[in-house]
Amino acid sequence: MTQETKYTEDNIRSLDWKEHIRMRPGMYIGKLGDGSSPDDGIYILIKEVLDNSIDEFVMGTGKTIEVSVQGEKVIVRDYGRGIPLGKVVDVVSKMNTGGKYDSRAFKKSVGLNGVGTKAVNALSTYFRVESTRDGKSATAEFEKGNLTNQEFLEETSRRRGTKVTFIADDTIFKHYKYRPEYIIKLLKNYVYLNPGLTIVFNGEKFHSENGLKDLLEDNNNQDDMLYPIIHLRGEDIEIAMTHSKTQYSEEYHSFVNGQNTTQGGTHLNAFREAVVKTVREFFGKNFDASDVRKSIIAAISIKVMEPVFESQTKTKLGSTEMGGDLPTVRTYINDFVKTQLDNYLHKNTEIADKLQKKILQAEKERKELSGIRKLARERAKKASLHNKKLRDCRIHLGDTKKDGYLDTTLFITEGDSASGSITKSRNVNTQAVFSLKGKPLNSYGLSKKIVYENEEFNLLQAALNIEDGLEDLRYNNIVIATDADVDGMHIRLLLITFFLQFFPEVIKEGHLYILDTPLFRVRNKKETIYCYSEEEKQAAIKKLRGKPEITRFKGLGEISPNEFVHFIGDDIRLDPVMLDKEMSIEQMLEFYMGKNTPDRQKFIINNLKVELDIVEEV
């Protein structure tokens, strides 16, 4: 007979605000991560602090925001009105406390729920807020949400505004490191959406005069644009769009009240629908929606009264109403696009002609591929039934968006031994494995037809579910896991070429990574240290002293599943694949995969010399 578990008042526990945030951080900031992904928690912390400074600018105060990131310390300084001095502690440590509940002060604010800076405070080993206004200032310091010091100055010469300093807790964000590229992208989005705002990051100034037009120009090479960017502005709406000459799929940047809604929502759906409807009516032809939107690169920003998002991290708009006396989001966007885009196309007949030719070409290609696509889908379904190449996970990106949990991963591996090690040591809930057989085809210069005809490419595309764009992408992280030898490097390059050629948005939106695995294992009877470089190996030898056992891993297949679990679990190290904005995708592919062998040899020799010089100095 089993003993009955007691359930009394003693079993009921109430967590205070900081305990709850620290115990369930994902509810407040989405996934944690280590900084290798742009939506990792450490960047959300910066964003939560910045949102308050941006709201000050929107309300007409503080045209400059200064951001400093040095190592683990982040400082954000604005020159807004400053937090009311008697409420400095409450604003950053009491839930449901903040000025944004007063809609008179913050009608179209980003952070409406009074949680943002409280989450930053609770998840930081050091948090300091300083407010200055009316020649006086108040300062409060915290440790993991606990108040440690408080000061008031009755007289100060400091400029008004708010300054927040914090150091994220490395017991929650393990092995984290800020990547300037991600921070810069975040800050640039803020200036694109707020004309007149200047943000200074570690001494570098960011400012935008042309809003979303600047965003598209900065993110895309001019030579790849089919026609000059169409840029349209209204009272609560702004759009910018063009089509790519080479890109196959759709690419969107969407924003609500200055918040980058990376998962779209009602506003993006309305915009995609409105573009198709307007183009059909302009040309008087019932084009297929996919042909109109194929290769589109666009951005949309709207302002909504008290927006409702589908998660705490505000990445998907759920609101259907604009607020006030305005119509629904769908109607408002449709009316704006119908009027403004139609007028633009009538005034710019040359652009209209280029757009029509692009649509007709897309239609021709779609019809040519229709039979091949049908056969390819059938092959992919049969392959998935027999589980030949994909060992899937239980949870996928589409299943988890509403909870803000996005950390689902597909490892692309080479060979049976490596895929076997990862498969045995993975988290079956969120980590899947796709096994390559030999080296993939060099897809440079090939048409989309090859994706369906080549078994590996077809099955990889089906596994990711990206045939028609990233809207239904099944994994947030696509990780290339190959050996750190010449063959492994070549496979990496061929896979990156595949994504650049056919699905560049996978890289542009920060989904593609290289798995960093240890080169050495240094151990004695008491401790084992895994080392990812020669420098780490030398440091481990010094730490363990004596003559520790040193193993050099030649390939992933040599690492046992018991060890591999460390390298793809909490301590996973990922190197993001990023595009060089100075080169177009076509230029990049031509240089690395084209027939310019002498240029490549020169590049390799010059860079190899740099590596050798570094080793000699060490």
Task: Write down the pLDDT at residue 135.
Answer: 92
Task: Write down the pLDDT at residue 264.
Answer: 85
The yes-or-no verdict on residue 114 having pLDDT over 70 is no
Name the residue among 358, 402, 462, 421 with its Cα closest to residue 564: 421
The yes-or-no verdict on residue 215 having pLDDT over 60 is yes
Q: Confirm if 292 and 241 have CB atoms less than 8 A apart.
A: no
Q: How much is the mean pLDDT over the chain?
A: 85
- 94-103, 305-314, 373-382, 482-491 — which is least confidently predicted? 94-103
User: Of 359-363, 371-375, 575-579, which one has max mean pLDDT?
Assistant: 359-363
- Tell me the per-residue pLDDT of 196-205, one tens digit each, with 9 for 90 and over: 999 999 999 9
- Tell me the per-residue pLDDT of 539-580, one tens digit each, with 9 for 90 and over: 999 999 888 999 998 778 778 888 888 889 877 888 899 887
Of 222 and 253, more confident: 253
- 125-139, 330-344, 532-546 — which is least confidently predicted? 532-546
Integer Cα distance of 553 and 568 in angstroms: 16
What angle do helix axes 329-347 and 349-386 make, rounded to 10 degrees? 130
The yes-or-no verdict on residue 604 having pLDDT over 60 is no
The yes-or-no verdict on residue 17 having pLDDT over 80 is no
Q: How many residues does the chain have?
A: 618
Q: Confirm if 270 and 333 have CB atoms less than 8 A apart.
A: yes
User: Of 25-34, 375-384, 466-475, 529-538, which one has max mean pLDDT?
Assistant: 529-538
Q: Provide, rounded to the nearest whole percent, the portion of the chain with pLDDT above 90.
A: 46
Map tokens 């009516």 to a residue.
Answer: 281
What angle do helix axes 349-386 and 266-283 make, rounded to 10 degrees? 130
In degrees rounded to 5, what are phi and psi of residue 17? -55, -45
Q: Provide, rounded to the nearest whole percent, the portion of the chain with pLDDT above 70.
A: 86
Return the HEC string of 267-335: HHHHHHHHHHHHHHHHHCCCCCHHHHHCCEEEEEEECCCCCCECCCCCCCECCCECCCCCCEHHHHHHH
- Tell me the per-residue pLDDT of 222-239, one tens digit each, with 9 for 90 and over: 888 999 999 999 989 999
3-state secondary structure of 128: strand
The yes-or-no verdict on residue 68 having pLDDT over 90 is yes
| Cα of 280 vs its chain's centroid, Å | 33
DSSP secondary-structure letter at 171?
T
- 3-17, 136-150, 283-297, 358-372 — which is least confidently predicted? 3-17
Q: What is the mean pLDDT of residues 262-282?
A: 94
Domain 212-366 part of CATH 3.30.230.10: yes
Q: What is the mean pLDDT of residues 162-191?
A: 94
Integer Cα distance of 229 and 237 in angstroms: 16
Q: Confirm if 441 and 494 have CB atoms less than 8 A apart.
A: yes
The yes-or-no verdict on residue 28 having pLDDT over 70 is yes
CATH classification of 387-517+554-582, choosing from 2.60.120.10, 3.40.50.670, 3.30.479.10, 3.40.50.720? 3.40.50.670
Query: Torsion angle of alpha carbons 226, 228, 229, 232, nearest 10°?
Result: -130
Name the residue among 40, 2, 16, 12 with its Cα closest to residue 407: 40
Q: What is the mean pLDDT of residues 365-381?
A: 81
Task: Write down the pLDDT at residue 599.
Answer: 66
- The count of C-alpha atoms lying within 13 angstroms of the C-alpha of 21, restricted to the half-sphere facing its C-beta, is 26
- Cα dist. 433→409, 419, 478, 481, 486 in Å? 8, 7, 10, 10, 22
Q: What is the mean pLDDT of residues 572-599?
A: 73
Integer Cα distance of 489 and 479 in angstroms: 14
Task: Write down the pLDDT at residue 603.
Answer: 58
3-state secondary structure of 569: coil
Task: Write down the pLDDT at residue 404.
Answer: 45
Q: Residue 290: how many CB atoms within 10 A of its CB?
A: 15
- Cα dist. 569→34, 39, 397, 427, 564 in Å? 12, 18, 18, 8, 8
User: CATH number of the domain at 17-207, please?
Assistant: 3.30.565.10
Task: Write down the pLDDT at residue 305.
Answer: 82
Integer Cα distance of 282 and 261 in angstroms: 29
Q: What is the mean pLDDT of residues 248-275?
A: 90
- 282-296, 382-396, 445-459 — which is least confidently predicted? 382-396
- Tell me the per-residue pLDDT of 130-160, one tens digit each, with 9 for 90 and over: 999 999 999 999 999 999 999 998 888 889 9
In degrees rounded to 5, what are phi and psi of residue 340? -75, -45
3-state secondary structure of 4: coil
Report the run of H or E that residue 254 belongs to, with start and end: strand 251-256
Task: Write down the pLDDT at residue 238.
Answer: 97
Integer Cα distance of 461 and 475 in angstroms: 12
| Cα of 190 vs its chain's centroid, Å | 15
Q: Which string of b and e fits 243-269 if b means at least 16 CB within 10 Å?
A: bbbbbbbbbbbbbbbbbbbbbbbbbbb
Task: Write down the pLDDT at residue 109.
Answer: 60
pLDDT band at 272 (very low <50, low <70, confident <90, very high): very high
Q: Confirm if 427 and 569 have CB atoms less than 8 A apart.
A: yes
Phi/psi class of residue 77: alpha, beta or left (left: φ > 0; alpha: ψ in -120 to 50)? beta
Q: What is the mean pLDDT of residues 501-509?
A: 88
Task: Write down the pLDDT at residue 313.
Answer: 62
Of 452 and 242, more confident: 242
Return the HEC string of 15-57: CCHHHHHHHCCHHHHCCCCCCCCCCCHHHHHHHHHHHHHHHHH
**In the chain, what are the domain boundaries?**
17-207, 212-366, 387-517+554-582, 520-552, 584-618
Name the residue among 197, 227, 233 with its Cα closest to residue 212: 233
3-state secondary structure of 133: strand
pLDDT band at 339 (very low <50, low <70, confident <90, very high): very high
